[in-house]
Amino acid sequence: MASKLKQPQPLLSDLVSGMSSVPSNYIRPANDRPNFHEVVSFDGSIPLIDLQGLYGPKRSEIVKEIGLACLNYGFFQVSSHGISEAVINNMLDISRDFFHMPESERLKNYSDDPMKTMRLSTSFNVRTENVSSWRDYLRLHCHPLEDYIQEWPTNPPSFREVVGEYCRNARGLALRLLEAISESLGLEKDYIDKALGKHGQHMAINYYPPCPQPDLTYGLPGHSDPNAVTILLQDDVPGLQVLRNGKWVAVSPIPSTFIVNIGDQIQVLSNDRYKSVLHRAVVNCDKERISIPTFYCPSPDAMIGPAPQLTDTDSFTHYRNFAYSEYYEKFWNRGLTTETCSDLFKTSHP
């Protein structure tokens, strides 16, 4: 079956049953492991921002909070975000249902081509990486929704309906946040909206099976996101860790909230005022975990560069202009590294 599908390796979720040790191709080098004893427990240091009143009298206050979170953390959490619990729970349920289907049904969606707009795969980029990551994922393009929904899985039967509804809601939240981020930089509220061209939206439904030796591998190693902003929905199983002041901080899920992080394109547009922060996913030996990041991004032909208003005489331009398609291709070919892909687009100054 593997040769017929030209699979470099089987889906992880079909291998782990009865496994007592991590296969060698998943074991990280000794100097690149989770080191759980060094991880800082979440202490409330990542801001939780209540978006209630964003379009009312509290707007300037909330925009300021978002700006400070982007400036000082690169990550924040949001409540009162306007997405119902029913939409959230349905999305988590359908995601579990998909990964619990028989292997033969799931593999109808398999591809190892990172440029495909709908595909099931494993690890990160099995074509280029040397060490695999402990996850399977279904990646979907979502905007414009009508351009992509017909290529999505038809099983479970309600998949397209449920995921489509979630995508519409996630996009609305992304647009509200991008307006606030734009304002917080002193730009017109539609500056980032216009900079993203026709816009793009992708999502990944990540499935992390239980792991017999979680200290030897990652769900995903440390990386920054190549897009503009990421909105993360996760179940109640911890796994996200964020690099803060040189220490990895474990971020426990809070029901009915989303975690938002700045992506590389906001770092570029802000001329390095807001930084795209390294984060990673770890696994555990007891429970499966579902996480669903929505990646809101420029359209492939959008030209990205620092906002001219943020490159005045007191601040040189940190990045050259580039098409987002160039950035995205380099990100996938380069793989997940602790050096952000944005370094490849920096300008040189005396």
CATH code of the domain in which 77 resides = 2.60.120.330
What is the pTM (predicted TM-score) of this model? 0.92
**Closest CA relative to residue 51, chosen from 82, 75, 86, 76:** 82
Average pLDDT (172-193) is: 98
Residue with tokens 């001219």: 308
- Residue 16 has what pLDDT? 73
- Residue 264 resides in a domain: yes
Count of domains forming the chain:
1
Beta partners for 242? 249, 279
- Residue 292 resides in a domain: yes
Cβ count within 10 A of residue 285: 10
In the chain, the N- to C-terminal Cα span, in Å, equals 57
Banded pLDDT at 339 (limits 50, 70, 90): low
Cβ count within 10 A of residue 300: 15
Higher pLDDT, 186 or 8: 186
- Residue 256 resides in a domain: yes
Query: pLDDT tens, 210-265?
Result: 999 999 999 999 999 999 999 999 999 999 999 998 999 999 899 999 999 999 99
| 4 has pLDDT over 50 | no
Banded pLDDT at 287 (limits 50, 70, 90): very high
- Residue 289 resides in a domain: yes
Higher pLDDT, 97 or 347: 97
85-100: b or e for each residue (b if 16 or more CB lie within 10 Å)? eebbebbbebbeebbe
Beta strands 48-50 and 75-79, pairing class? parallel
- Residue 329 has what pLDDT? 84
- Residue 298 resides in a domain: yes
Banded pLDDT at 316 (limits 50, 70, 90): confident
Beta strands 279-281 and 240-244, pairing class? antiparallel
- Residue 6 has what pLDDT? 44
- Residue 350 resides in a domain: no
Domain with 341 in it? 2-345
- Residue 43 has what pLDDT? 61
Rounded Cα distance between 77 and 157, Å, is 32
Query: pLDDT tens, 105-143?
Result: 999 999 888 889 999 998 877 777 789 999 999 999 999
Q: Are 269 and 194 in contact (CB under 8 A)?
A: no
- Residue 158 resides in a domain: yes
Three-state SS sequence of the chain: CHHHHCCCCCCHHHCCCCCCCCCHHHCCCCCCCCCHHHCECCCCCCCEEECCCCCCCCHHHHHHHHHHHHHHCCEEEEECCCCCHHHHHHHHHHHHHHHCCCHHHHHHHECCCCCCCEEEEECCCCCCCCCCCCCEEEEEEEECHHHHHHHCCCCCCCHHHHHHHHHHHHHHHHHHHHHHHHHHCCCCCCHHHHHCCCCEEEEEEEEECCCCCHHHCCCEEEECCCCCEEEEEECCCCCEEEEECCEEEECCCCCCCEEEEECHHHHHHCCCCCCCCCEEECCCCCCCEEEEEEEEECCCCCEECCCHHHCCCCCCCCECCEEHHHHHHHHHHHCCCCCCHHHHHECCCC
Q: Are 174 and 296 in contact (CB under 8 A)?
A: yes
- Residue 221 resides in a domain: yes
| 336 has pLDDT over 70 | no
